[in-house]
């Protein structure tokens, strides 16, 4: 077990990324947490329990608590592997959902459950069969008042994994996803079966590349009052990434298009490009740079009718971390965000800064 306790001071000149008049926001975070890991010959269990006690003052005065409870379980036999990943997250809409979709929602707390069981069976030394399932449930505090709706997602995939060589792996999967709103005055249900081809190649021991792509056949049905509307569309999802890992340096560049659920009560088509770089300046000092750009449009019709304005979001976050003793680490970061939309008169920008001090008590280890 690895316990930790962090305290963070935060400042933002435009926390909500709004074009309306606003004042700067100041915040204070207190974050206790513990990570755990257990392993036997066949079973592995890992997870985390963490809290954020957050107070904001100034432009956005509020107090809330974030909860993070991820869990991963994996069990292996000679030819089979069963796994489960999932957990519960309570965060605000400008954290997890913004990073995933690139959409700026109204500021509120989100409860998010996810469960993803997996079964993989080795058919030969190079060929494996894999099937996965997916369940997600998202609900928003005061969501309807803020124009947000709760939703659920069910789905899964089945296919083959072929290890062509020590450097090459090919996956061919059939996928199915069903998305529906659960508390809205309207009803939206979208389903999209599809297929995905994924190819991974290791150029060297430290350099690896991945490309993937495939179609999604989207059918959406909207029920509002006495009217029912159905639409059909075909969208291609795709992406590629390149990862370099050295002893003191790592970098990843990636781009992708995906279909993702949103608290707006629709499916979002998110095009994203990202670059992450980390460099160990010394044994105790690490510098990193995180950049992402998003282009977001609607992949399903608006339940209320009308059109969905295309959204564009850019952010860059340089960070420096100094582990000045065995038990203490100090981090400082700056973040710049730029947001634009066809519905905005002009782009909006935000600058934020964070300083965090983390204490790591002695680890607790139990062995047989």
DSSP-H helix ranges across the chain: 96-101
Q: What are phi and psi of 321, to 5 degrees?
A: -125, 135
Is the model more confident about 262 or about 128? 128
Rg (Cα) of the chain, in Å, rounded? Answer: 22
Q: Is the dihedral of CA 256, 337, 98, 49 positive or negative?
A: positive
**With the C-alpha atoms ordered 261, 266, 269, 270, is the resulting torsion angle positive or negative?**
negative
Q: How far apart are CA 95 and CA 319, in angstroms?
A: 17
Q: Residue 345 above 80 pLDDT?
A: yes
Domain segments of the chain as ranges: 2-359
- Taking residues 170-187, report their average pLDDT: 90
Residue 303: exposed, middle, or buried by beta-carbon count in 10 A (0-12, 13-18, 19+)?
Answer: buried
- For residue 305, the model assigns a pLDDT of 61
Which is it for strands 127-140 and 348-359: parallel, antiparallel or unpaired?
Answer: unpaired
Average pLDDT over residues 225-251: 91
Q: Count the helices and strands in the chain (H runs, E runs).
A: 1, 19
Q: What class does CATH assign to 2-359?
A: mainly beta
Handedness of CA 301, 181, 195, 89 (dihedral sign): positive
Q: Taking 90 as the threshold, does the pLDDT of residue 183 lie above it?
A: no
**pLDDT tens-digit map of 136-151:** 999 999 888 888 889 9
The pLDDT confidence band at residue 304, using thresholds 50, 70 and 90, is low
- Chain mean pLDDT for the chain: 92
Query: Between β-strands 311-322 and 328-341, what pairing exists: parallel, antiparallel or unpaired?
Result: antiparallel
Identify any residues that bridge with 145 across adjacent strands, giving them in sequence order: none
Q: Do residues 98 and 65 lie in contact, with contact meaning Cβ atoms separated by under 8 Å?
A: no
Helix/strand/coil for 101 = helix
Residue 81, classified by CB atoms within 10 Å of its CB into exposed (0-12), middle (13-18) or buried (19+), is middle
What are the distances in angstroms from CA 307 to CA 25, 74, 136, 270, 353? Answer: 32, 44, 26, 16, 35
The answer to whether the beta carbons of residues 122 and 79 sit under 8 Å apart is yes
Residue 47: CB atoms within 10 A of its CB come to 18
> What's the pLDDT score for residue 303?
62
What pLDDT, on a 0 to 100 scale, did the predictor assign at position 368? 57
- pLDDT digit string, tens, across residues 53-74: 999 999 888 999 999 999 999 9
Given a cut of 60, whether residue 301 has pLDDT beyond it is yes
Rounded Cα gap, residues 262 and 104, in angstroms:
10
Give percent of the chain above pLDDT 90.
Answer: 73
Separation CA 320–CA 334 (nearest Å): 9
| pLDDT > 70: percent of the chain | 98
By residue count, the chain amounts to 368
């Amino acid at each position: 077990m690895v316990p930790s306790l962090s305290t963070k001071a935060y400042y933002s000149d435009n926390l909500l990324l709004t074009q309306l008049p606003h004042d700067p926001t100041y915040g204070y975070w207190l974050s206790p947490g513990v990570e755990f890991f257990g392993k036997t010959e066949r079973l592995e269990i890992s997870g985390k329990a963490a809290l954020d006690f957050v107070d904001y003052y100034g432009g956005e005065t509020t107090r809330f608590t974030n909860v993070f409870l991820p869990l991963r379980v994996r069990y292996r036999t000679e030819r089979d592997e069963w796994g489960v990943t999932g957990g519960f997250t309570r965060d605000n809409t400008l954290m997890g959902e913004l990073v995933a979709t690139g959409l700026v929602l109204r500021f509120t707390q989100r409860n998010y459950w996810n469960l993803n069981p997996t079964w993989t069976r080795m058919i030969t030394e190079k060929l494996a069969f894999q099937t996965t399932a997916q369940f997600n449930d998202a609900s928003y505090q005061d969501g309807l008042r803020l124009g947000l709706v709760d939703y659920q997602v069910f789905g899964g995939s089945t296919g083959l994994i072929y290890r062509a060589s020590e450097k090459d792996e090919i996956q061919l999967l059939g996928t199915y996803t069903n998305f529906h709103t659960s508390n809205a005055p309207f009803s939206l249900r979208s389903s999209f079966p599809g297929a995905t081809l994924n190819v991974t190649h290791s150029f060297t021991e430290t350099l690896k590349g991945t490309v993937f792509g495939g179609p999604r056949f989207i059918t959406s049905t909207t029920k509002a009052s006495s009217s029912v509307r159905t639409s059909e569309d075909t969208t291609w999802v795709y992406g590629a990434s390149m990862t370099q890992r050295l002893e003191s340096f790592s970098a990843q560049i990636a781009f992708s298009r995906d279909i993702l659920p949103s608290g707006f009560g629709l499916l979002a088509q998110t095009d994203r490009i990202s670059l992450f770089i980390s460099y160990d300046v010394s044994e105790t000092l690490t510098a990193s740079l995180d950049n992402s750009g998003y282009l977001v449009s609607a992949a399903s019709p608006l339940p209320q009718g009308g059109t969905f304005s295309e959204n564009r979001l850019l952010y860059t976050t340089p960070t420096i971390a100094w582990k000045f003793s065995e038990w203490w680490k100090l981090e400082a970061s700056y973040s710049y965000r730029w947001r634009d939309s066809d519905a905005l008169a002009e782009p909006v920008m935000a600058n934020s800064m964070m300083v965090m001090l983390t204490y790591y008590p002695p680890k607790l280890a139990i062995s047989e």
